[in-house]
Amino acid sequence: MPTYELLPGFLRDLENLTPAQRRAFRAAARRFVEDLAERRFRAGLRVKRVQAAAGIFEMTWAPDGRATFQFGPEVVAGQPHVIWRRIGRHEILARP
């Protein structure tokens, strides 16, 4: 099971999401964790690198829902550590 942390920007952004948006993200996050175990992300999550932001990735959790993350040092040996950076609409990619 991967470990994770939430940066302050992610927590601020999360407060601005509607309950429905939070549910949609949690559902996508479950698929994300499943895919981490398989070491391959399904096409529907559209995980890809953020242009001009080294080491930062984005995941699509709704038609206009994005979350940015990076991988940090392992906390549990052999398990990825995900650092969630931002969450919201497409405009978060301006400051991922």
Alpha carbons 69 and 82: distance in angstroms, whole number: 7
Q: What is the pLDDT along the chain (96 residues), one digit of tens a residue?
A: 899 999 999 999 999 999 999 999 999 999 999 999 999 999 999 999 999 899 999 999 999 999 999 999 999 999 999 999 999 999 999 999
- The residue assigned the tokens 């969450």 is 87
Alpha carbons 12 and 88: distance in angstroms, whole number: 10
- The residue assigned the tokens 């549990």 is 76
Predicted pLDDT at 60:
97
Number of domains in the chain: 1
Look up the domain containing 10 and give its range. 3-94
User: CATH number, domain at 26?
Assistant: 3.30.2310.20
Alpha carbons 6 and 29: distance in angstroms, whole number: 13
> pTM of the full predicted structure?
0.94
CB atoms within 10 A of CB 17: 17
